[in-house]
Structure 1
Amino acid sequence: MGFQQGLSGLNAASKSLDVIGNNIANANTVGFKMAQAQFADVYANSLSGGGTNSVGIGTRLATVAQQFTQGNITGTNNPLDIAINGAGFFRMSTNGSITYSRNGQFQMDKNGGLVNSQGAQLTGYVANAQGVLSTGAAVPIVINTADVAANQTANINTRVNLDSRELVPKTTGTPPITTLVAFNPTDPSTFNKATSVEVFDSLGNPHILQTFYVQSNRALPGPPSTVTKEWDVFTVVDGVYPPLTPPGLPAPTPTNSIGKVGFDAFGKLTTVTPSAATTPFAFDVRIDVPSTGSVTPISTPLLVKYDLTGTTQFGSPFSVNFLKQDGFTSGKLSKFNTSKDGSIVGSYTNGTTRVLAQVVVANFVNPNGLQSLGDNQWNETATSGQPLVGSPGSGSLGVLAASSTEDSNTDLTGELVNMITAQRIYQANAQTIKTQDQILQTLVNLR
């Protein structure tokens, strides 16, 4: 009789409705992957092991296969939200037990760890105090919220154009025998132009370093290839002048300049005197202020390489074309964001950035072999194979999208149509049972 076939069809349709209902229920679950009920027909074995006229005895649920297709990426206002765009799973740790998830809704716990709503910690590579990643085994990520240490200035790079039309600012005596008036940073008539830059000592205290340029002679006679023009260069720190003599460095000239710069007839920088040992167009400058007075003293005297490479002397107004120094004060972590390759980069109040950690993702040869644990998590099984762990964007792994989440991949319209189909299948199987019952009743009533 056909009761068995109809009954199996009812069970199959019921299972299909269960799967469809679960998909619809999780249409708004972040990182959810919809499932599909897959069925197989059932045949009784023949005694002889053969036969071509056997009639099937119904259907059975073969498997519930999850569909690991990409969900839509939706932006959020939470910088801790992360979405995977492509293949892979977040690697999560709960007291050392590893699970995998596509739900990237994270928050920071009291220890600075990145955790999901169940308390599982996001894993990856962590960085040391210098921002260097330890790319060995993946460990739970903990964001270091300590202040970043100050970095004292060691290099200053500047490119200026000195106006070749400038004259010696002030001299005494009767030409042709004249003497340059002593430089005075408070007397603009004793220098031509000036620039300033903020530098930092070992404690992160800021200091203002001023650089003054003084035209010291007119063009000298001679062939064009040897015609030069020189400028004296002076420095003043926090208004204190003259600077102290740096140990191991040449003593200042009688006028307390740090040296001279010379140009050829075509405005090209040709000499810096005295020049630094490794950089021909740079001065070694002492940055220091006395420990007395109202000026904040420098914690440790700084020896700075003041590089003027690229400085020119053309017949155009003075201009500062480039000015940069490599020091900074201490800073507090103000925010952080995640890049496409999983690097978590912190931004500090002193304007610096530093890599704090890197998120890893894992993929499997057979993702359908993963065991669903609920709470948007899966577990590794022998069927799924070993996890392939790496940084986002490497190999076949997807990239990350910060301040975003991955929507459920449930096709709500398609599932509603599937529900109607499953309902009709259920009704049809119920009809086969009803028909078989009528046939059996007819047989029973035969006289």
Structure 2
Amino acid sequence: MGFGQGLSGLSAAAQNLDVIGNNIANSATVGFKSSSASFADVYAANSRVGLGVQVSGINQRFSVGNVKVTGGQFDIAIDGAKGLFRLQEKDGSLVYSRNGEFFADKNGYIVNAQGQQLTGYVGGADSTTLGALTVPTGNIAPRATSEATTKANFDANAPIISEVDIPEQLGAVTLTPADTGVPDAPAYYRVSSSGTLSWFDAAGNATSSPANGKYTSGNGLQVELTGGQIIAGSFDTNAPNNAYAAAQTGRPFSPTDPKSYTHSLPIPVYDSLGNTHQLTQYFVKRDGAAGLQSQWDVHYTLDGLPVNEPAGGGPVQMVFDSAGRMISAAETTIVMNAPGFAGAPAEPLAIRLDYSGSTQFGGGFTPSFTQSGYPTGEYSGLSIAATGEVIAAYTNGETQIVGVVALGDFRNLQGLKPVGGNAWIETSESGPVLVGRPGGNGLAVLKGQALEESNVDMSQELVNMIVAQRTYQANAQSIKTHDQVLQTLITMR
């Protein structure tokens, strides 16, 4: 019996050394999970003395290894304890691994060194279809511009531009002589650049000055006139109906006449073929209608050609109140029926324009804009988001989600069966796989361009090796001792 006990100890210690040696050998294997041997004693029925030891199981430690940034385009690390990559063999069977060293094969599939294909949700960010993930090829389709936003401050002090000629408008003020208290008829005046007053009748004909003397103007201000000139006091020439306005020459809007508009803003837009066009917005400050503080007309050209104005037959009107806030509708839609070039016809281009947030303050014209279209672009690279999205980048600056990496988890990881190649397969002991997206349902998140290192603790393994060696030596000594006892019995007479 003693020999059997010692032999079982030697066998168990040897297997323990095998496990430790395997851990040390795989200390640099990406995603490797170290193992440890568990032991149990052996008893015969109705025996009070044990028959030795047996290896009851080889347990893998699924603790998380260090995450190392590699910069590899297809490298992926699972940054957390829960989750394994779901890999598809060439025969369609599935295996699971924590090794995230991937690359693109000749067919565009994302695979590991064993040729196993990384699987996930294919067809877009919201897809629920599981399949092998692939690297996109070809160009991304262009998107026609459907929306554009313009947020700007329009200069409140910009001069008004009139479409038609405006004759000179004389200021009018009613004066009440201090000696009579009876208001005179309105006196019409013009102010020169030097501040000299000239007087006219209601028809605009030059006339004699009001009499010398002291007066009260219609707004209650005291003035004293001599020769028709104010020598003391003042009256408010900015009061309603009192302001003098010089004659203006009308300038109907024309994109070729810079004096016919106040500001212009060119922005790029794209048609259904991805061709670039220049949409130019022209802003013209107008004299506001009664009760309105300020009005701006907006005209449009596409590649220098006029664009049909929106429904209503005229330019878009932007109206601002006395606080500089826009009080008119912020959105409008313009349509270009044939935006394409010769030989490259494109679909009609309808763009919803949004001016929300625009202001009119006493400052410069400060525009900003966005638009929703883009041209076609070639595939240029791939990146992996923390939540598993496989994001393709293109030369036009756009990105597109082409799939989502799927992770699998099991209720009993110890029930998984190792099959080599740093992979496991599902068994009845592990339970069915639970598939989900990284970061959801308790699954770990991912880290792109990084790998999870082996979780082998080299110092601990070396200590374990010493202990296993001593155990082996002790069991060998046990066999030797039993041999000596047996020899003693044999030599007895």
Residue 331 (structure 2) aligned to one of 262, 267, 282: 282
Are residues 1:354 and 2:400 paired? yes
Q: Following the alignment from structure 1 to structure 2, what is the Cα–Cα distance between the partners of residues 99 and 354?
A: 28
Are residues 1:193 and 2:258 paired? no
- 1:326 to 1:91, Cα distance in 2 relative to 1, 3 A: same
Deviations 1:139-166 (A, max 9, x none): 2112332322111111111111111111
Q: Which residue of 2 aligns with 1:270?
A: 327
Q: Which residue of 1 aligns with 2:179?
A: none
Give percent identity, aligned residues only.
Answer: 42
Deviation at 1:172, TM superposition (A): 4.7
Q: Following the alignment from structure 1 to structure 2, what is the Cα–Cα distance between the partners of residues 156 and 405?
A: 42
Residue 343 (structure 1) aligned to one of 389, 394, 413: 389
The answer as to whether partners of 2:271 and 2:339 remain within 8 angstroms in 1 is no
**Which amino acid in the other structure matches residue 324 of structure 2?**
G
Are residues 1:232 and 2:289 paired? no
Deviation at 1:353, TM superposition (A): 1.6
Q: Which residue of 2 aligns with 1:90?
A: 85
Q: Which residue of 2 aligns with 1:260?
A: 317
Q: What TM-score do you get using the length of structure 1 for normalisation?
A: 0.87
- 1:237 to 1:297, Cα distance in 2 relative to 1, 3 A: farther
Residue 184 (structure 1) aligned to one of 254, 259, 265: 254
Q: Following the alignment from structure 2 to structure 1, what is the Cα–Cα distance between the partners of residues 301 and 483?
A: 107
Q: Which residue of 2 aligns with 1:412?
A: 458
Q: Following the alignment from structure 1 to structure 2, what is the Cα–Cα distance between the partners of residues 261 and 180?
A: 20
Q: Following the alignment from structure 1 to structure 2, what is the Cα–Cα distance between the partners of residues 210 and 184?
A: 12
Q: Following the alignment from structure 2 to structure 1, what is the Cα–Cα distance between the partners of residues 261 and 446?
A: 56
Q: Which residue of 2 aligns with 1:314?
A: 361
SS, match of residue 377 in structure 2:
coil
Q: Which residue of 2 aligns with 1:160?
A: 152
Q: Which moved more, 1:170-179 or 1:20-29?
A: 170-179
Are residues 1:150 and 2:142 paired? yes
Deviation at 1:181, TM superposition (A): 0.9
Show structure 2 runs of 5+ residues with no match: 170-246
Q: Which residue of 1 aligns with 2:421?
A: 375
SS, match of residue 151 in structure 2:
strand
Are residues 1:299 and 2:346 paired? yes
Q: Following the alignment from structure 2 to structure 1, what is the Cα–Cα distance between the partners of residues 106 and 79?
A: 29
Q: Following the alignment from structure 2 to structure 1, what is the Cα–Cα distance between the partners of residues 348 and 249?
A: 33
The answer as to whether partners of 2:120 and 2:406 remain within 8 angstroms in 1 is yes
The answer as to whether partners of 1:143 and 1:357 remain within 8 angstroms in 2 is no
Q: What TM-score do you get using the length of structure 2 for normalisation?
A: 0.79
Q: Which residue of 1 aligns with 2:215?
A: none
Q: Following the alignment from structure 2 to structure 1, what is the Cα–Cα distance between the partners of residues 270 and 66?
A: 48
SS, match of residue 387 in structure 2:
coil
Are residues 1:203 and 2:273 paired? yes
Deviation at 1:101, TM superposition (A): 0.8
Once superposed, what is the RMSD of the aligned Cα atoms?
A: 2.2
SS, match of residue 394 in structure 1:
coil
Are residues 1:175 and 2:171 paired? no
**Which amino acid in the other structure matches residue 67 of structure 2?**
I
Q: Which moved more, 1:173-182 or 1:391-400?
A: 173-182
Question: Over alpha carbons, which structure has the higher Rg?
Answer: 2
**Which amino acid in the other structure matches residue 159 of structure 2?**
L
SS, match of residue 62 in structure 2:
coil
Residue 104 (structure 2) aligned to one of 64, 86, 108: 108
Deviation at 1:169, TM superposition (A): 4.5
Q: Which residue of 1 aligns with 2:3?
A: 3
SS, match of residue 231 in structure 1:
strand
Q: Following the alignment from structure 2 to structure 1, what is the Cα–Cα distance between the partners of residues 441 and 449?
A: 24
Deviation at 1:438, TM superposition (A): 1.3
**Which amino acid in the other structure matches residue 2 of structure 1?**
G
SS, match of residue 332 in structure 1:
strand
**Which amino acid in the other structure matches residue 147 of structure 2?**
N
**Which amino acid in the other structure matches residue 284 of structure 1?**
T
Q: Following the alignment from structure 1 to structure 2, what is the Cα–Cα distance between the partners of residues 301 and 99?
A: 51
| Structure 1 moving runs of 4+ over 6 Å | 288-292, 295-298
Q: Which moved more, 1:147-156 or 1:301-310?
A: 301-310
SS, match of residue 319 in structure 1:
coil
- 1:430 to 1:24, Cα distance in 2 relative to 1, 3 A: same
Q: Following the alignment from structure 1 to structure 2, what is the Cα–Cα distance between the partners of residues 375 and 237?
A: 61
Q: Following the alignment from structure 1 to structure 2, what is the Cα–Cα distance between the partners of residues 99 and 440?
A: 53
Deviation at 1:27, TM superposition (A): 0.3
Q: Following the alignment from structure 2 to structure 1, what is the Cα–Cα distance between the partners of residues 339 and 252?
A: 22
Deviation at 1:289, TM superposition (A): 7.2
Q: Following the alignment from structure 1 to structure 2, what is the Cα–Cα distance between the partners of residues 259 and 44?
A: 98
Deviation at 1:173, TM superposition (A): 5.7
Q: Which residue of 2 aligns with 1:22?
A: 22
**Which amino acid in the other structure matches residue 339 of structure 1?**
A
Q: Following the alignment from structure 1 to structure 2, what is the Cα–Cα distance between the partners of residues 307 and 291?
A: 24
SS, match of residue 305 in structure 1:
strand
